[in-house]
């Protein structure tokens, strides 16, 4: 079994465990009775760490090399922090646009944290996803698709990141963010290049939940979808030059360094029975339950 097929098989196992682990944990009475924030944290830890540990037992690979646990220079660190803020208007536009057609699952999760407190909310919605999702996707999967070639590996890993959210509302912006995160990791050779902006994006949303709102503002009628769509689209457009500048500076600081290109006769292929089953799982559990919102 070549490396790509091995990674595809792991992807299928990973997705099945992702779908089952929450249901299995919910069947345990004392876990089911925990507050949502604690329950969500435990589920995240279980459904990411168990498959990852199994992966390293199965493949005998080095976690340091797979995860790319290497430091970032201070210049890259500053650029990546700024990038974490600069990409948010574009993501908010995509999120709002798709929420006009499908329920905003992420917002529902944030709403369920009411009363959890700032620290626990930050752990649940920002720290754990930033570390666990990045170690899985930009760690295991990005390295596992290495023999597809650099750009195909980036695309396939970002695709799986979008699919992993298991709903059509989050898929577009998760896929876009996944492309950027993979690119940052490939150029810097460090997983911190994706963990940091992922944390910043999620933490910004958590912080916004705890910003005091004046009573006058709280009682105002929210603007309609058309106004919000115009606002988010204009914000996204205005942010693009700044985002482009950040990426330009990043490219100057991190030129291409030996991108992997399969040699003749050694190319591997992404599509396989395992990955087709992953697509099937997304259709059944991530698309069909939401079709009713379109009608």
Low-confidence winner among 176-180, 218-222, 254-258 (lowest mean pLDDT):
218-222
C-beta of residue 276 within 8 angstroms of C-beta of residue 11:
no
Angle between helices 192-209 and 88-99 (to 10 degrees): 60
Residue 185 to residues 20, 86, 98, 127, Cα–Cα distance (Å)? 30, 17, 27, 18
pLDDT band at 216 (very low <50, low <70, confident <90, very high): low
> 75 pLDDT exceeds 70?
yes
> 94 pLDDT exceeds 70?
yes
Flag whether the pTM goes above 0.85: yes
Task: Output the pLDDT for position 266.
Answer: 66
DSSP letter at 211 equals S
Residue 104 to residues 59, 168, 178, 187, 270, Cα–Cα distance (Å)? 37, 9, 19, 32, 30
Chain position carrying tokens 């595809």: 8
pLDDT (mean) for 49-58:
96
pLDDT band at 256 (very low <50, low <70, confident <90, very high): confident
Task: Output the pLDDT for position 275.
Answer: 97
pLDDT (mean) for 38-62:
95
> 15 pLDDT exceeds 70?
yes
Sequence-ordered list of residues with C-beta below 8 angstroms from that of 14, at least 6 positions apart, any chain: 51, 136
Dihedral angle computed from the Cα positions of residues 116, 117, 118 and 120, in that order, rounded to the nearest 10 degrees = -50
> 79 pLDDT exceeds 70?
yes
């Amino acid at each position: 079994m070549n490396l790509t097929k091995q990674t595809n098989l792991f992807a299928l196992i990973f997705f099945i465990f992702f779908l089952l682990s929450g249901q299995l944990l919910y069947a345990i009475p004392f876990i089911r009775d925990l507050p949502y924030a604690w329950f969500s944290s435990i589920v995240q830890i279980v459904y990411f760490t168990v498959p990852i540990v199994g992966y390293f037992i199965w493949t005998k690979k080095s976690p340091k090399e797979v995860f790319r646990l290497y430091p970032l220079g201070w210049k890259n660190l500053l650029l990546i922090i700024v990038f974490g803020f600069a990409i948010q208007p574009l993501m908010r536009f995509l999120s709002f646009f798709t929420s006009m057609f499908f329920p905003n699952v992420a917002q529902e999760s944030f709403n369920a944290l009411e009363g959890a407190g700032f620290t626990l909310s930050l752990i649940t919605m920002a720290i754990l996803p930033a570390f666990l999702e990045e170690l899985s996707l930009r760690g295991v999967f990005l390295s596992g698709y290495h023999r597809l070639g650099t750009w195909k590996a980036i695309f396939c890993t970002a695709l799986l990141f979008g699919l992993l959210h298991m709903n059509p509302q989050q898929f577009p912006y998760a896929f876009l963010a996944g492309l950027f995160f993979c690119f940052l990791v490939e150029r810097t050779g460090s997983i911190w290049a994706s963990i940091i902006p992922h944390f910043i994006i999620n933490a910004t949303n958590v912080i916004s939940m705890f910003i005091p709102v004046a009573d006058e503002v709280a009682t105002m009628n929210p603007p309609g979808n058309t106004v919000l769509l115009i606002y988010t689209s204009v914000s996204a457009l205005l942010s693009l030059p700044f985002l482009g500048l950040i990426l330009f500076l990043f490219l100057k600081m991190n030129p291409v360094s030996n991108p992997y290109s399969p040699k003749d006769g050694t190319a591997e292929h992404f599509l396989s029975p395992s990955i087709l089953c992953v697509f099937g799982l997304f259709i059944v559990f991530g698309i069909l339950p939401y079709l009713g919102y379109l009608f």
